[in-house]
Structure 1
Amino acid sequence: MTNLRTTESDYLPRILIIDDQYGRSLKDGTQNDLRHTWRRTHGLLDATGDASASKSKPRGETVARAFFFSGQSPSPVGIGDEISNDLPAILQTVREGWVCKPEDRWALVLVDMEFVTGIITEESSRDEAGAPSKSPIGQAATEYFGLKIIEAIKTEYPDLPVVILSSNKQNQDAISERYEGQGVKVFIDKQCTAEELQNYIWEEGLVPDELGLSLGYSLPLLKALRIARKVGRTRSPVLITGQSGTGKQPLAEYLMQWSAKSTNGPQISFNCAKLKTETGVSQLFGHVKGAFTNAISDKKGLLEAADGGDLFLDELSWLNLENQSRLLKVIEDGRLTRLGEDEDKVKNVDVRVICGTNADLDLLVQEGKFLHDLLFRLDVVSIELPPLSQRFEDLELIVNGLIRKFDKQAIPRKIGAGLIPYLMSYSWPGNIRELSNMVERACVLDQESRHLLSRDMPLPVAVSPDVPNAGQVSGQHPGVHEALALDGALSASVAVPPNPEMSVEDFIQFLANVRLTADSDEELRGMFGSGRNVLGRYETASNTAITRLVLLALEKCVSEGDARNLEFNFAKTIQLLVDANVKTTKFNRFVETHCLSVEGPVGEQFKRAWEKKKAFTKPSNETTA
């Protein structure tokens, strides 16, 4: 079980608590004692950042990072202020924590029911600092402002989990029935314990994998993890579906870890592809002596070994009908018969079966290849994992996790600036498994690099129907060339034209569309080395062609004012031209015409770079390129 998480705080949920008392901020900068006491006893870090926030750590285990908001205006408050409810401000606060970077999204919103409004007087503020004088006593529970907040949030952000936080349980059943249809299924008592609050957050919130098995903050993944946590503490069968390579095994391990918290039973995994042989069948169901050749003694199978715990069966579709029938008996009645054993010699086992498959089991049922009754029993709880193409917002996190896994350097390499957009240009039919293989290969083949660049991860190439004579990654989105330019890599996978009939002219124009922004001498040499190799495959390739490639790249660099890399690129380009024995008359003419006349910082860098030319070149009888 590989943990790819960076730190313990990576998974700490971020919650929003909308409560007029706990969210109140005071003008005099004094601490909100109600908030301070409640959040300390409930394991919350105060992330509000206002003057009334407390920086002290909570008692015991930290449950979440909490942002407290009163839902009222003005804020902060003092004696004489008239307090009113402010729904637009609430929605703005919710929006800022939902339409944002995935790792900063609210995991859960807790909403109080009763919001007190009115003028703050010295008398009303005596017992509770900043409290207004008006009381909601006598107001019908179904008219509480908190319910209006919930309706507004669920209307705009239906995927955002919301729970009710209140000590007033008046008409709780009526309120619950009214809002359960919108996904608001929990009524949290303010007097709950820290453990109870934590359970609410884990079961209802969109919380990332705290074990680091499935990295990401995308909504489809967080929803799958939420189901896994809920069902993990039960004994119900689970069916995990999704394309090959989406991470069914890590999700099953995550689910079983949550199961272990309540059962303390064994957790075992088995790949059903092994069931093609008698030995494989025996490994799952066990056998008695003489059941088949080499069965020299009785042997317990994995279903027995998992008694009291969980068994994950991956690649479920490999089960034939006979073994499906055996498995159905175990799931329905807890009755297990070993291979070669009489039917009346049944062993009773208590094992929860978790299955994973990328096959369409409904179709297999229609084709008579899968038992309908078994599918019915397995599909009590179904969790579908999204393909990687639907989790692009997790790409950077996943790649960094894979680098930490495969990079053996003391300081793991960093992701190049253009790598993630480059990877997003591909559809990833092999999903995370395919990505993992590519990152591992890059780390193995170059064990000293400081950056992971697009050239290190060649993607499949196809001819683009939209860009004549240009190479394009299969399944890519527009803009891949711009993405490649960000990390300065003309990778071999893109530099090699897919069409062998492409002319040198078209190829040079294709490469010229990528801006020259290399970050190292090694990278720059690799770029032009690749260009020379490709051009060398054609009879028309020559030093002139290489020179034109350099000129076009530099000209684009000038037009876009790339001051950060100009001097470096310019000086290194001269050296490369000399190394390649390229005639430079046209190059000189280009510099004098376009570069030395440039004013400002960019022009100064050009002039300094031009002086360095003397160290690289010697006068010669050059021919016009």
Structure 2
Amino acid sequence: MSHILIVEDEAVIRNALRRLLERNGYQISEAGAVQDAVDTFKLTDFDLIITDLRLPGAPGTDIIPQAEGVPVLVMTSYASLKSAVESMKMGAVDYISKPFDHDEMLMSVERILKEKALERENQALKSQISRDFPLTGMIGACEAMQALFKNIQKVAPTDSTVLVLGESGTGKELVARAVHDQSHRHGGPLISVNCAAIPETLIESELFGHEKGAFTGANANRKGLVEAADGGTLFLDEIGELPLEAQARLLRLLQEKEVRRVGSVQSKTVDVRLVAATHRNLKSLAKEGRFREDLYYRLHVVELKLPPLRDRGDDIEKLARELLIRTARRMAKQEMSFSKEALDAINLYRWPGNVRELENAIERAVILCDGQIIAPDLMALDMHPESEYELDDDITLPTPRTSLTKHEEVPDPAEDLSLEDYFQRFVMEHQEQMTETELAQKLGISRKCLWERRQRLGIPRKKPAAR
């Protein structure tokens, strides 16, 4: 039985409405003013509140924000379009004029209660789906993934900072999205930033914004990505690559919930939840002085670990089959399947690039396949690599003895260096004199590609010497 609260100061109208609703099976409570209702009842216990617009003391619409989601139907003898619009703007679900028609009142009450019941059912269904399928887009039946799902369900409803750990390509951004989607911030923005993909000279401006004239090229005020995430979640991928200067600003954001644009003297309060991710050991970096120790402890509130694909057992084949279905549909191909040999290769391969490498291998196979059966050669998996990681062969070597300064000389090509040896030697010799951007330009690759190769080859990043 639905429980309805009537807030009406005229006893005759209040009694008539109560009798009408009770005859139709509703449980009724009454009050003569907004303050009486608030003092006497817990408003959230009701399924519907019917209130007069003109009441002694506060107007009937003042009960709307205190009802906390309980639908409010406003009625008044001063029927006008203006008062109806104002009531609806303040959150009333409907508006009815006095003297009201009995049938019209009953129809409005029935419709509102049905809509509210449907809303509750939908919310319950969403919650059930969220419990059964906690990570849209992620598949994981192994013990490590199931533990991850449970931890996400525990931390998502809070505002705690989350640190996601895992190798490159394991799906750290999907974990961040799951945390956001299952939080009370799911209606707000999720802003994702790869800290390794933004040049050092721009990262503070990108994250925190800048004022006009703050530096050369700052021709207008610009809002940063932190401000853009206000009311939602900020996901900082590869946070271990964040420069120390930007780390100090991020620490202030976590401590004070404030952000100050580059070149500004004023701070702005923001409501942002931070989810950070890295494949590196931040504690070790902090001991080496390459990551702020105080920021590390601010980030290390809740830790979520993603296992590498090679340790996920039967998940590998399940993921491969699901990715094949999705890729074939996306490319408007007929239903496809793996040959037995292809499945054997998928299960035996070590997948150093994790899920991202699996996705790319399947996309390549779908594009090249002439039939409906995926053969192992189409996935181009190197089952017997000479080393775990190889340098990509798209690197463009600088022309020897060009217009480089005495600090930028390249190795003599007569030394017959391999691409991997050349990369290591060039970076180690010049990283103290060049920025990451300059190194990438000289090598003919992107800054992100430079960063990825550093990780593969274990070359620590050093700051260039002051010029």
Q: Is the 8 A contact 2:317 2:347 kept in 1?
A: no
Aligned-residue offset at 1:195: 9.7
Figure out how many residues of one structure are paired with residues of the other and give that number.
Answer: 268
Query: TM-score, with normalisation over the residues of structure 2?
Result: 0.53
In the alignment, which of 200, 213, 230 is matched to residue 307 of structure 1? 230
Q: In structure 1, what is the equivalent of residue 251 of structure 2?
A: 328
Aligned-residue offset at 1:414: 1.0
Q: In structure 1, what is the equivalent of residue 190 of structure 2?
A: 267
1:456 to 2:361 alignment: no
Q: In structure 1, what is the equivalent of residue 322 of structure 2?
A: 401
- Alpha-carbon distance change, 358 to 327 in structure 1, aligned in 2, over 3 angstroms: same
SS of structure 2 residue aligned to 1:418: helix
1:227 to 2:148 alignment: no
SS of structure 1 residue aligned to 2:280: coil
Q: In structure 1, what is the equivalent of residue 307 of structure 2?
A: 386
Aligned-residue offset at 1:451: 1.1
Structure 2 gap segments, 5+ residues each: 1-119, 390-467
Q: In structure 1, what is the equivalent of residue 140 of structure 2?
A: 216
Aligned-residue offset at 1:418: 3.5
Q: In structure 2, what is the equivalent of residue 29 of structure 1?
A: none
Matched residues in 2 for 1:346 and 1:473: separation?
A: 50
SS of structure 1 residue aligned to 2:164: strand
Cα offsets for 1:513-536 (capped at 9, x unmatched): xxxxxxxxxxxxxxxxxxxxxxxx
Q: Is the 8 A contact 2:226 2:234 kept in 1?
A: yes
Matched residues in 1 for 2:129 and 2:143: separation?
A: 15
Matched residues in 1 for 2:243 and 2:138: separation?
A: 30
Cα offsets for 1:335-380 (capped at 9, x unmatched): 11111112xx111111001001101111101110111111111111
1:431 to 2:325 alignment: no
- Alpha-carbon distance change, 474 to 450 in structure 1, aligned in 2, over 3 angstroms: farther
Q: Is the 8 A contact 1:208 1:216 kept in 2?
A: no
Matched residues in 2 for 1:233 and 1:390: separation?
A: 29
SS of structure 2 residue aligned to 1:273: coil
1:278 to 2:201 alignment: yes
Cα offsets for 1:128-169 (capped at 9, x unmatched): xxxxxxxxxxxxxxxxxxxxxxxxxxxxxxxxxxxxxxxxxx
Matched residues in 2 for 1:332 and 1:474: separation?
A: 41
Q: In structure 2, what is the equivalent of residue 513 of structure 1?
A: none
Q: In structure 2, what is the equivalent of residue 370 of structure 1?
A: 291
Residue type matched to 1:230 in 2? K
Aligned-residue offset at 1:253: 1.3
Cα offsets for 1:256-278 (capped at 9, x unmatched): 1112x555221111111144243
Matched residues in 2 for 1:404 and 1:196: separation?
A: 30
- Alpha-carbon distance change, 208 to 394 in structure 1, aligned in 2, over 3 angstroms: farther
Q: In structure 2, what is the equivalent of residue 106 of structure 1?
A: none
Matched residues in 2 for 1:269 and 1:361: separation?
A: 20
* Deviates further, 241-250 or 220-229: 220-229
Residue type matched to 2:339 in 1? G
Q: Is the 8 A contact 2:135 2:149 kept in 1?
A: no
Q: In structure 2, what is the equivalent of residue 63 of structure 1?
A: none
SS of structure 2 residue aligned to 1:365: helix
Q: Is the 8 A contact 1:460 1:473 kept in 2?
A: no
Matched residues in 1 for 2:221 and 2:260: separation?
A: 12
Structure 1 runs of 4+ with >4 Å offset: 193-203, 472-475
1:357 to 2:278 alignment: yes
Q: Which has the higher contact order (CA 8 A, sep 6+)?
A: 2
Matched residues in 1 for 2:239 and 2:302: separation?
A: 16
Aligned-residue offset at 1:201: 7.3
SS of structure 2 residue aligned to 1:355: strand
- Alignment identity in percent? 36
Residue type matched to 1:455 in 2? D
Q: Is the 8 A contact 2:200 2:243 kept in 1?
A: no
Alignment of 1:77-476 (within 5 A): 207-209=132-134, 211=136, 213-259=137-183, 261=184, 264-342=187-265, 345-407=266-328, 408-446=331-369, 448-462=370-384
Matched residues in 1 for 2:182 and 2:374: separation?
A: 35
- Alpha-carbon distance change, 265 to 461 in structure 1, aligned in 2, over 3 angstroms: closer
SS of structure 1 residue aligned to 2:326: helix
Matched residues in 2 for 1:424 and 1:441: separation?
A: 18
Matched residues in 2 for 1:474 and 1:291: separation?
A: 45
- Alpha-carbon distance change, 431 to 350 in structure 1, aligned in 2, over 3 angstroms: same
Q: Is the 8 A contact 2:208 2:262 kept in 1?
A: yes
Matched residues in 2 for 1:409 and 1:275: separation?
A: 35
Q: Is the 8 A contact 2:148 2:304 kept in 1?
A: yes
Matched residues in 1 for 2:377 and 2:186: separation?
A: 48
Q: Is the 8 A contact 1:288 1:298 kept in 2?
A: yes
- Alpha-carbon distance change, 221 to 227 in structure 1, aligned in 2, over 3 angstroms: same
Matched residues in 2 for 1:368 and 1:356: separation?
A: 19
Query: TM-score, with normalisation over the residues of structure 1?
Result: 0.40
Matched residues in 1 for 2:202 and 2:185: separation?
A: 33
Structure ID, larger Rg:
1
Matched residues in 2 for 1:198 and 1:341: separation?
A: 47
Aligned-residue offset at 1:279: 3.1
Q: Is the 8 A contact 1:239 1:378 kept in 2?
A: yes
Cα offsets for 1:288-308 (capped at 9, x unmatched): 011111101111111111111
Matched residues in 2 for 1:363 and 1:460: separation?
A: 33
- Alpha-carbon distance change, 313 to 451 in structure 1, aligned in 2, over 3 angstroms: same
Aligned-residue offset at 1:202: 8.0
- Alpha-carbon distance change, 473 to 395 in structure 1, aligned in 2, over 3 angstroms: farther
SS of structure 2 residue aligned to 1:392: coil
SS of structure 1 residue aligned to 2:384: strand
Aligned-residue offset at 1:317: 0.9
Matched residues in 2 for 1:452 and 1:458: separation?
A: 11
Matched residues in 2 for 1:310 and 1:381: separation?
A: 15
Give the CA RMSD over aligned residues. Answer: 2.8
Q: In structure 2, what is the equivalent of residue 492 of structure 1?
A: none
Aligned-residue offset at 1:433: 1.2
